[in-house]
Amino acid sequence: MDLIHCCVRWPWKNFPTSKTSLFQKEERLRHYNPLPLTVPAFSNRMPAQCVFSRIEGKGKRSPPPPPGGAPAKLAAASPVASRKWRSSAHALRGAPRRAQTPGSVTYVQSNLPRRPVPRSPRLRPGGAARAPGAGRTARSHPGAATCPFSAKMALASGVRFAPRALLRPWSSPVELFHHDRYRHHEPPAPVHYEDKHVSVVKVWGGTEPSRYFLITARIHKWPSGILRLGGINGDDISEAPRVCPWARRWVQTASAGPAAALSTGAGPSLPLFLLLAEWVAVMKLRNPPVNALSLELLTELVISLEKLENDKTFRGIILTSDCPRVFCAGLDLTEICGRNPAHCAEYWKAMQELWLRMYLSSLVLVAAINGACPAGGCIIALSCDCRVLADNPKYRIGLNETLLGIIAPFWLKDTYVNTIGHRASEQALQLGSLFPPAEALQVGLVDQVVPEDQVQSTALSEMARWLAVPDHARQLTKNMMRKATADRLLRQRDADTQNFVSFVCRDSIQKSLQAYLEKLRQRKG
C-alpha cells in the first residue's frame, strides 16, 4: 500500500473581496494584521481549544498575554488553550515581537518550513462565552451563528475592521468556485505553464480584473504536492509573504511560473497568496494482482488510518488503487479457504476493525474507484463519505456474496441499506448484483461517474467540497448518521466473529469457496 501526501490550499476568501479596493485592503492590513496570522480554522479534534494559529519567524516568540486574559471558562477548560488564546488575541493587537525565550508558547511547528501549518482546533465545547462588544457583530454576521468564537476573539482583541475571514474561517476555494460570480463565468483560457519548479495543473475562476482566481499547481521539488494558490487579479505578489510568511518559500518558487503564465490573459501580473493549508493523504491499495484484502493489507490499512487520524495535519484521505483495472477484489478468499478457525477469526476481526475505523472515521474519506469493486471492495468504498467511479463498463461494483454461496453479514447489509435504501438493497443483495457505472450511479452506489483519467482529479475536487465544511459540524453529523449502524456491530462483535468462523469453516462452504477460487484461476487461463 502506498501513502502519498498531497496538499490542498485554501485562499483567504476575504482577502480581498471584489468590493474591496486596494486602498481598503491596505487599510485593513494596517489595522488588523500588523503581524501575520493564519485564518482560524475549525476542527473538533481537541475541542477544548480555541486559538488563532499565529505564525512566527524563526527565533521569535509569542508576545505576552494581553491584559484581561482569556475567558475564565476557557482557562478552566484548558490552560493551554487559554494561554494560546491570550497570545493570539495579543498578536491581533499588534504587540511587538520579543526575543525567543525557552518555554515560551509558540504555535509554529518546528518543521514548518517543510510542512504547512496544521489546522488548530478552535472550537470550545458548548460554544463560546460572549466577550464585551462581541455580540452585535457576531450575531449580525451570517457566519457568526456557527462561528461565534472567532467573532468574539476578533472584537475582544481590538480589531477595528473585523475581517469576514475571521467570522467565516471555513471559506474555501470551492466556495469561491461555486460562487455566483463564477458559476456563469466563462472559464479562463487554458493556461499551460511549466518550468523547472512548477507546472500549472488547472486554473479556476475568472481572469477579469478584481476577480479571484485559483491555481492548482504542481511543485516539482515536491512530487506528490499539489499546491492551490489563490489570488486576485491586479494584486501584488509581494503580499503573499505578508499574509502567510511560512509559505514564502513556495510563493517565491511558484510566483515566477503561474504569475508569468497567467499574465497573458489577466493583466501585467498575478498575485499568488497562500493562506491555509489542508493536507489530504492519498492512500493507494497495492496488493497485486487484484488488491484482495489479505490479513496483511487489512492490518496495514488499519494502521495507516489510525496514523492519519492521529496526525492533526490531515483532514482527508483519498483511497484509490495502484493495481490496474481493479480497485479491490474484496476478501482474500485464500485467507478463509482451507484455513483453521483461529486464523479465520483473526482475519474477520481485522475486517471488522477496518470497517469500523473507516465507517466512523473523523477524516473525510473519498474513494477514487479506478477498477472493479466487488464484495469487500464495495464495502471499503461504501465506508467512505463519497465515491467517484471510473466510467468503464468492466468496473462493476456491488455485493455479490450470494453468487459465491456466502451471505453478507448484517453490518455489510446495513451499510448497503444506508447507502442505496432498503428495496434496492434487498434486490441487489439477493441477486448478488454487480452494477456497471451508469447503473451504480443511478441506484446511488456511487456519487460520480467520470472518465477514467479524471477519477483522481474529481476525487480531489470532491474532497475540497467536503473539506469546505467545518470539521466539527461534519464529523458530528457523520457520527449521528452512522453511529447506530456501527454500534450494532460493536455490541455483537464476538458473536459476529463466531458466526463467520462457524459459517466459513463448514465443509459445504469450504467446498464452494474452493470451487469459486478454482473458477477464478481457470478463467484467467
Ligand X SMILES: CCCCC/C=C\CCC/C=C/CC(=O)SCCNC(=O)CCNC(=O)[C@H](O)C(C)(C)COP(=O)(O)OP(=O)(O)OC[C@H]1O[C@@H](n2cnc3c(N)ncnc32)[C@H](O)[C@@H]1OP(=O)(O)O
| Enzyme catalytic residues | 331, 376, 400-401
- Find the binding residues for ligand X in span 401-460 (CB under 6 A): 401, 404, 406-409
Rounded Cα distance, 215 and 74, in Å: 39
Rounded Cα distance, 351 and 345, in Å: 10
- Find the binding residues for ligand X in span 345-384 (CB under 6 A): 372, 374-376
Is the Cβ of residue 184 or residue 524 nearer to ligand X in the bound state?
524
Rounded Cα distance, 93 and 275, in Å: 20
Tell me the three-class secondary structure of 380-438, residue by residue. HHHCCCEEEEECCCCCCEECCHHHHCCCCCHHHHHHHHHHHCHHHHHHHHHHCCCECHH
- Find the binding residues for ligand X in span 82-121 (CB under 6 A): none
Q: Which of 37, 134, 292, 364 binds ligand X (CB under 6 A)?
A: 292
Rounded Cα distance, 44 and 289, in Å: 39
Please give the order of strands across the beta sheet that includes 212-219: 198-205, 212-219, 226-232
Q: How far is the CB of 405 from ligand X (least distance, A)?
A: 10
Q: How far is the CB of 14 from ligand X (least distance, A)?
A: 48
Beta strands in 51-210 (DSSP E): 60-61, 98-99, 198-205
**Residue showing the smallest CB distance to ligand X in the complex:** 330
Q: Which of 60, 325, 343, 413 binds ligand X (CB under 6 A)?
A: 325
Is the Cβ of residue 204 or residue 355 nearer to ligand X in the bound state?
355
Is the Cβ of residue 326 or residue 463 nearer to ligand X in the bound state?
326
Q: Which of 503, 505, 510, 512 binds ligand X (CB under 6 A)?
A: 503
CB-CB contact of 316 with 471 (8 Å): no
Is the Cβ of residue 244 or residue 333 nearer to ligand X in the bound state?
333
CB-CB contact of 495 with 345 (8 Å): no
Q: Which of 108, 308, 326, 390 binds ligand X (CB under 6 A)?
A: 326
- Find the binding residues for ligand X in span 504-523 (CB under 6 A): 504, 517, 520-521, 523
Is the Cβ of residue 189 or residue 520 nearer to ligand X in the bound state?
520
Q: Which of 74, 112, 331, 468 binds ligand X (CB under 6 A)?
A: 331
Q: What is the DSSP string of 327-383?
A: S---B-GGGTSS--HHHHHHHHHHHHHHHHHHHT-SSEEEEEE-SBEETHHHHHHHT
All three cell numbers of 2: 502506498
CB-CB contact of 424 with 444 (8 Å): yes
By CB under 6 A, residue 226 contacts ligand X: no
Q: How far is the CB of 446 from ligand X (least distance, A)?
A: 17
Q: Which amino acid is at 177?
A: F
Query: Of 40-48, 326-334, 384-392, 417-425, which part binds ligand X (CB under 6 A)?
Result: 326-334
Is the Cβ of residue 69 or residue 405 nearer to ligand X in the bound state?
405
Q: How far is the CB of 298 from ligand X (least distance, A)?
A: 12
Angstrom distances, CA of residue 392 to CA of 82, 130, 455: 54, 55, 11
Kindly list the residues in this chain that would bind ligand X in the complex (CB under 6 A). Answer: 289-290, 292, 325-326, 329-334, 372, 374-376, 400-401, 404, 406-409, 499-500, 503-504, 517, 520-521, 523-524
